[in-house]
Structure 1
Amino acid sequence: MAMALRPIDNALPTTTPERPKKQSKVSVAIQKQSEFGVNDENKAPLPSSADVTIDYISSENLKPIADPESKVESLMEGLDSKDWIMVCESLNNVRRLALYHSSLLFPYLEKVMLVLVKAMKNPRSALCKTSIMAASDIFNAFGDKLLDCTISVAYDNLLLQLLLKASQDKRFVCEEADKTLKATVMSMTPLPLLHKLRGYVSHANPRVRAKAAVSISNSVSKMGLEGMKEYGLISMVQMTAYLLNDRLPEAREAARSIATLIHKGVTENEEEKLGAWQNFCESNLPPIHVPSMLKVISSQ
């Protein structure tokens, strides 16, 4: 007898299987390391920037170091620290050494200026401002010694950073950089400084051009006629005519001051001063620049 076959149940489930749940993302807080800050679990955590107050000590309130020889020996270690707070402290020691123990600091000056440039590029405003203040004290302490061929390149980099910082939008950094640029002018012989500043008159950044023009004007005011002649009156008037057509008023105002000083030098022994000035400009400038130079003097 044939067996009756039972109906086979449907092998497939009647309901759709549940999809595996998607793993949720877990956020892990990772503390970002700054250029001058490295985390080390074996060390006590560094205080956060909110807990730190940096004192900006004026030069006249800085005190001599009790044991400068030992401080110099450990100076570079502090400047190379990954802790930006320690770098600030070491920069203040640089300032004290520059003001009171400059002969001990001089052998380290090139390395110190490289640290200053690095610190000025740091986004921490406190570190940037402290480095600018240190640069000012170094300029006042060493003056023309900074133009020594062995450290001249380091000085050039430092000068460029100061012009850049004086051109930025952070007011308290900008003002400090302006003070330091003035210290540069006051502490150095005008002629060699003028040769270094001359290259920034054609800088791509108009604010840098303007800051350079102001420093050039301040340097020329210290030179006197003989100094201007040594630099070259023709080169000076050509540079001035270029700045008179600059985009920024600050550069044009500095150029007018320079033009007035050149005019005094050119016409010092001339009876017909306006005529002598016109002849000088027409002889040494493209015709398109002559009217603006004449206007500077005639409007006074």
Structure 2
Amino acid sequence: MALRPIDNALPISPDNPRLKKHAKVSIQTQKRAPEVGLNDENKAPLPQPVDASVDYMASENLEPFEDPESNIQSLVEGLDSKDWVTVCGSLNFVRRFAIYHSGLLLPVLEKVMLVIVKAMKNPRSALCKTSIMAASDIFDALGEKLLDSSAFDQLLLQLLLKASQDKKFVCEEANKSLTALVNSIAPLPLLNQLHGFVNHGNLRVRAKAAVSISNSVSKMGSEEIGEFGLVSLLQMASDLLNDRLPEAREAARSIVFSVHNAFTENEKSNPRAAWQSFCETNLSTIQAQSMLKVLSSSSQ
């Protein structure tokens, strides 16, 4: 069954009365811009058609399918399309399935995740943003089930990269998606996925990873923090305190407070001395002093 364009991924056409006034400029632009394939992320972007051909529908405005079982095959076919508008439409199908019929996505989840990752790499902003919105709806619907996907690490990296870029409307959408991720997956398993990215060579990726880690740690109790590792979090925060970006340093301070609270929870006699000893045992002298300054500055 061929995939029908849906309301939030309408090709511009002079026959479409809703978009007629835009038809002339859109068609002329498309003639100047050859199709950009999904694998072109490492090439210099070509001039692109205007993004007016895609509407970005809010999740609450998407509707369920009347017959979702019969539409799942159309979804798979559309995701394989070479036409970017068709892929956008299919990604919006993914969003509708995620919100209303998430169980039907599970058998094709791996394929869906790979297409989302590939679309995020695409230089065409409309396709990239639509894929990020699809990721957010999948996070909300499936949560920790996504951790079983072999593409999850790739998806996480792409979100961190997109949240780090200069194109504002893509960057904002990626930040929303990272927030949805933190809110939909339990802190401990998500932390196990995120912690490696604080050593990424891209300082912006490090900062975005640090923020997501900080948000996850702030939701953890002392037992969960202890299960992940107080020392590991302490050393991670210590490294981030010296990062070049203020965003990473602020996230590090938040992690320090969480670790401190978890550590001193059962230290009734002299928690300050116990915390100082803990820092000096597991960090260099300079790093330990930095940790103590974080807490002392907050109490002033």
Distance 1:290 1:126, change over 3 A: same
Asked which structure has the greater CA Rg, the reply is 1
**1:268 maps to which of 265, 269, 273:** 265
**2:278 maps to which of 272, 277, 280:** 280
Q: Structure 1 regions of 5+ residues with no counterpart?
A: 1-28, 38-47
Distance 1:130 1:189, change over 3 A: same
Q: Which amino acid aligns with 1:215?
A: S
Cα distance in structure 2, aligned partners of 1:105 and 1:157: 19
Cα distance in structure 2, aligned partners of 1:286 and 1:263: 17
**2:235 maps to which of 216, 226, 238:** 238
Structure scoring higher RCO (CA < 8 A, sep ≥ 6) equals: 2
Q: CA deviation at 1:36?
A: 5.4
SS of equivalent to 1:74:
helix
Residue in 1 aligned with 2:36? 34
**2:183 maps to which of 181, 186, 190:** 186
Distance 1:263 1:51, change over 3 A: closer
Residue in 2 aligned with 1:70? 70
Contact preservation (8 Å) 1:213, 1:255? yes
SS of equivalent to 2:53:
coil
Contact preservation (8 Å) 1:36, 1:83? no
Q: CA deviation at 1:205?
A: 0.1
Runs of 4+ in 1 over 2 A off after TM superposition: 29-33, 48-53, 269-274
Cα distance in structure 2, aligned partners of 1:165 and 1:157: 12
Cα distance in structure 1, aligned partners of 2:272 and 2:134: 46
Residue in 1 aligned with 2:97? 97
Distance 1:50 1:211, change over 3 A: closer
Q: Which amino acid aligns with 2:59?
A: S
Residue in 1 aligned with 2:116? 116
Residue in 2 aligned with 1:297? 295
Residue in 1 aligned with 2:9? none
Cα distance in structure 1, aligned partners of 2:233 and 2:32: 56
Contact preservation (8 Å) 1:36, 1:81? no
TM-score, normalised with respect to structure 2: 0.83
Distance 1:272 1:72, change over 3 A: same
Distance 1:53 1:298, change over 3 A: same
**1:215 maps to which of 206, 212, 216:** 212
Q: CA deviation at 1:33?
A: 3.1
Cα distance in structure 1, aligned partners of 2:92 and 2:194: 28
Say whether residues 1:134 and 2:131 are aligned partners. no
Q: CA deviation at 1:53?
A: 2.6
Aligned residues: 259
TM-score, normalised with respect to structure 1: 0.83
Q: CA deviation at 1:277?
A: 1.4
Q: Structure 2 regions of 5+ residues with no counterpart?
A: 1-30, 40-47
Cα distance in structure 1, aligned partners of 2:181 and 2:96: 18
Identity fraction in percent: 66
1:150-206 deviations in Å (ceiling 9; x for gaps): x2x211110010000000000110111011011111111111110111110110000
SS of equivalent to 1:223:
coil
1:116-148 deviations in Å (ceiling 9; x for gaps): 011001111111000000000001111111112
Distance 1:81 1:291, change over 3 A: same
Cα distance in structure 2, aligned partners of 1:167 and 1:80: 28
Q: CA deviation at 1:266?
A: 1.0
Q: CA deviation at 1:100?
A: 0.5
Cα distance in structure 2, aligned partners of 1:241 and 1:51: 43
